[in-house]
Amino acid sequence: MKNYLYPSFVIVFITMLSFSCSKKPAEPLPFGAVPTEHQVTWQQMEYYMFIHFGPNTFTDVEWGNGKEDPKIFQPTNLDCRQWAATAKEAGMKGIIITAKHHDGFCLWPSNYSTHTIRESGWKEGKGDILKELSEACKEYGLKFGVYLSPWDRNHVSYGTPEYNQIFANTLTEVLSNYGDIFEQWFDGANGENEEGKKQIYDWDLFNNIVYTKQPQAIIFSDVGPGCRWIGNEKGYAGETNWSTLNTAGFEPGLKAPSSDILNTGNINGEFWVPGEADVSIRPGWFYSPSTDDKVKTVDELMNIYYASVGHNCNLLLNVPPDRTGRIHKNDSIRLMEFRDARNKVFGTNLAADAKIAASNTRGNHDAYSPNNLVDNNYNSYWATDDNVLSATLEIDLGEAKIFNCLSLQEYIPLGQRIADFSVEYYNEKTNIWDKLVSGTTIGYKRILRFPTISTSRLKININKSLACPTLSCIELFKAPEELFAPIIRRNKEGYVSLLSHIKDMNIYYTTDGTTPERTSKKYIEPIFLPGKGIIKAITVNDMTNDQSEVASEVYDIAPIKWQITPTSAEGVIDGIKTSFVDIDKKESIIINLGEVLNLKGFTYSPLNDIQAPNVFRYNFYISDDGKSWYKLKNNSTFDNIKNNPIDQRVLFDKTIKTSYIKFEPIEITSDSKTYTIAEIGVISE
């Protein structure tokens, strides 16, 4: 008998032939809760626009009280086509609008309210924003969604059993007259603390109307059933994020699961309720002229994108139209810069031509080949045999490539399975495999960032999977190295410091409101700014000529002369918003301003943490001598501060003269014996 040595290409051919000609094994059975076809389509949208628009746009508040004159709503140049064109150009796939917010004002002429655009006088009472926007979305190939708040601070029936049917009629009206709705947005906002009114919402009734009128619509709320709130308004989903959730015993609002559970979901959760991250491009949800220079930077938006879409979560980015009824130029420009930044990162998949080998492939059949991971087809995927719950994929890039970003996608129509994975790269210098990054869940999409490396080979280790793992896509990208804007900070004595995130970077700044350039003043030592002023600054890498985005801070009077009681609250006026003070909730803060000031208002900076015991309801007093007090704000609220704990700017009805101010907490956002404050300041004339 002769022994023959077959050429290697013959062996490869025979192996490939047996691999492709074996009988195709059955598709993996769905595991646990799985998405509907509509939920998969929704998840593939990834990124779309939120529009907050209404009387609050003109009153400069976050929550209207329902008592505002509808005639205050008077946009001078409203253009829904501009909204849609902006969203389309920004790479968004749809628009959801606040058809009715908590103030009860309807952006269409509802038959079930007298607080609508019909009463506003806009277009002589004949306008209909929902009609205009739905038509604009259709024209630009965008999907259209609506937000109707069940809380209504205007309707006389709110707080009675009859109101549920009124809201149901309102909902039916909207869902019947404006074409296809891709998402119905609900929240659990309730007037429990508003003049004693309390409404027991009939969620089954509301949801069934959506199912009947718009069966394809995804219903958003704290507990879905279509998708869930991610537990914060920062746009950040958990590093671990299951698309499954246990909802028994919960409902939207105060009876929702904890923010931690909403942020991460439940492993083996009973229902498929994926996350949606809602966040505003500005500090607040409605337009305010005071935030024109506070539009989020591209770096901030990119970090939000990585923490939402990159954490198995859709991104709903709020872009509030201004008082003309158009998206402000600052917001529009930033959206285009954000689009360009995403395109720069994700425009070229460095793994597109890679060859991938797997430690196990389902039935050794090419229907489940690991090379499906780079075929640019989400509906083809790699899978293992049923009894294989851990596996390794080795990626051969053909040559050394430089990258710092990895994107993975599970095939979610069969459920979410992977619970732990790690990534290694082949170190060409040491000839060993080095650890690169690790994670827990993947879901529809997981994007991981890491220090830039150069390698020709990569390993992905599926360490734990709840059922045989399935993956549909692997991509590699090279993101530009980030050059962050400076940190601007003023201390109690009025000195402004400019801090760089990276050593050996130069900072250039202006104090007159103009945009800084390399020719602007170079930062060498703290800048003395005891009074009102604006500081703008950039970080510059003189070696590469790269520069950061512009950082900007507007300052009022520095607390140089101030004395605070209790003395333990000194941190409230130290100028550092990242530090905070805990104070007994029975104790007020009193500040001796050290001089007579003409004040137009005050500022309150909470601790930027939704779990913190921040002040929700308060009184505010002034005094000439610190003994006799005049109450200037009575039982006032910082609206939405629990979910969105951002700087609060409170304006008085008129300018007042005072030497002392007193801040008295009434209600805290959590059950605590103390309340938390980061900073208090004044708004001077």
Quick one: which H or E segment has residue 132?
helix 129-139
Q: Does one domain contain both 144 and 239?
A: yes
Are residues 280 and 423 both part of a single domain? no
- CATH number for the domain harbouring residue 356: 2.60.120.260
Which one, of 217, 211, 218, 227, lies nearest residue 273 by Cα?
227
Q: Give the confidence band of 4 by pLDDT, cuts at 50, 70, 90.
A: very low
In this structure, the answer to whether residues 49 and 127 fall within a common structural domain is: yes
**Polymer length in residues for the chain:** 685
Q: Are residues 504 and 419 in the same domain?
A: no
**Pick from 421, 447, 477: which residue ends a domain?**
477
Instruction: Report d(CA 621, CA 263) in Å as an integer.
Output: 39
Boundaries of domain holding 630: 563-684
340 and 359 co-located in one domain? no
Is residue 9 over pLDDT 50? no
For position 194, what pLDDT does the model report? 56
pLDDT at residue number 21: 52
328 and 198 fall within a common domain? yes
Nearest-5° Cα angle at 223, 219 to 229:
80
Give the per-residue pLDDT at 193. Answer: 60
- What separation in angstroms does the CA of 568 have from each of 572, 607, 630, 677, 681? 9, 17, 25, 12, 17
> 3-state SS string over 390-419?
CEEEEEEEEEEEEEEEEEEEECHHHCCCEE
* Percent of the chain topping pLDDT 90: 89
Report how far apart, in Å, the C-alpha atoms of 527 and of each of 137, 547, 658 are.
Answer: 49, 21, 28
Cα 578 from Cα 272, distance rounded (Å): 37
HEC letters along 137-150: HHHCCCEEEEEECC
Coil vs helix vs strand at 641 = coil
* Number of domains the chain is built from: 4
Q: Please, what is the end-to-end C-alpha distance for the chain in angstroms?
A: 104
- Residue 57 sits in a domain of what CATH number? 3.20.20.80
The answer to whether position 22 is within a domain reads: no
Q: Is residue 12, in this structure, part of any structural domain at all?
A: no
Residues 541 and 630 in one domain: no
Q: Does residue 33 fall inside a structural domain?
A: no
What is the rounded CA–CA span in Å between residue 494 and residue 255? Answer: 45
Q: Which of 502, 532, 555 is the last residue of a domain?
A: 555
Does 15 fall in a domain?
Answer: no
pLDDT band at 6 (very low <50, low <70, confident <90, very high): very low
At which of 299, 318, 345 does a domain end?
345
Q: What is the DSSP letter of 24?
A: P
- Do you find a cis peptide bond into 645, omega within 30 degrees of 0? no
Is the residue at 27 inside a domain?
no
Residues 548 and 468 in one domain: no
pLDDT digits (tens, 9 = 90+) for 548-606: 999 999 999 999 999 999 999 999 999 888 888 999 999 999 999 999 999 999 999 99
CB atoms within 10 A of CB 7: 8
The predicted structure's pLDDT at residue 484: 87
Residue 31 falls inside a structural domain: no
Q: What's the whole-number average pLDDT of the chain?
A: 94
**Lowest-confidence pick of 213-222, 301-310, 452-461, 481-490:** 481-490
Record the tokens describing residue 562, joined without a space: 């101030």
Q: Is the pLDDT of residue 69 over 90?
A: yes
pLDDT band at 542 (very low <50, low <70, confident <90, very high): confident
pLDDT attached to residue 501: 79
Burial of 560 (0-12, 13-18, 19+ CB in 10 A): middle
Q: Are 339 and 358 contained in the same domain?
A: no
Residue 456 pLDDT = 97
CA distances from 656 to 241, 328, 682 (A): 50, 32, 12
Q: Residue 576 in contact with residue 493, Cβ under 8 Å?
A: no
- The average pLDDT across 302-330 equals 98
Beta partners for 487? Answer: 499
Instruction: Give every CB contact of residue 303 below 8 A, 6+ residues apart in sequence.
Output: none
For residue 409 the two structure tokens come to 């996608």
Q: Comparing C-alpha atoms, which of 241, 238, 167 is closest to residue 205?
A: 167
- CA 278 to CA 604: how far, in whole Å? 24
By the 10 Å C-beta count (0-12 exposed, 13-18 middle, 19+ buried), 498 is classed as buried
Please indicate, yes or no, if residue 196 is contained in any of the structural domains.
yes
Which range (190-194, 301-305, 315-319, 554-558) has the least confidence? 190-194
Pairing of strands 615-623, 630-637: antiparallel
Q: Does residue 609 or residue 336 have the better pLDDT?
A: 336
Indicate the pairing of strand 527-528 with strand 546-547: unpaired
Q: In what order do the strands lie in the sheet with 487-490?
A: 487-490, 495-499, 527-528
Statement to judge: residues 272 and 172 lie in one domain: yes
